[in-house]
């Protein structure tokens, strides 16, 4: 199944809701908070989250990502790729091993 504007909106909404609200402590970040922090109209963010904004620009998505303190690539993760807990654990272990190995290589051969 192809990635859609609805998937994009759902991912942005999921990321927004994972952040705490500064206006209402103990609650998820509000749309208007994110819109204000991203310096975009709240109506545009609402339409993006609902999959109704037909052509969100990279600039607009970059502003949203910056305000959410995340990488723009997180907006384009397919929900079809649900991973089990063991798959996530294995991926984290692989990432950790790769990171440690890269750090070791850089210590042995510093970049000039």
Poorest-pLDDT segment among 11-25, 35-49, 85-99: 85-99
Which CATH number do you get for residue 36?
1.10.260.40
In this structure, are 73 and 106 located in the same domain? no
In this structure, are 14 and 30 located in the same domain? yes
Rounded distance between C-alpha atoms, residue 71 and residue 69, angstroms: 7
In this structure, are 88 and 52 located in the same domain? no
**pLDDT tens string 24-80:** 989 999 999 999 999 999 999 999 999 998 889 999 999 999 999 998 888 887 765
Number of domains in the chain: 2
Rounded distance between C-alpha atoms, residue 8 and residue 14, angstroms: 10
In this structure, are 73 and 100 located in the same domain? no
Its domain, for residue 110, covers 82-112
């Amino acid at each position: 199944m192809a990635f859609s504007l609805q998937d994009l909106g759902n991912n942005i909404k999921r990321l927004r809701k994972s952040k705490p609200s500064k206006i209402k402590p103990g609650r998820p970040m509000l749309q208007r908070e994110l819109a204000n922090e991203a310096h975009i109209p709240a109506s545009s963010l609402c339409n993006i989250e609902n999959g109704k904004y037909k052509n969100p620009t990279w600039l607009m998505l970059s502003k949203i990502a910056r305000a959410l303190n995340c990488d723009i690539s997180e907006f384009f993760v397919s929900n079809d790729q649900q991973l089990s807990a063991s798959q996530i654990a294995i991926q984290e272990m692989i990432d950790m091993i790769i990171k440690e190995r890269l750090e070791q290589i850089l210590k042995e051969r510093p970049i000039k």
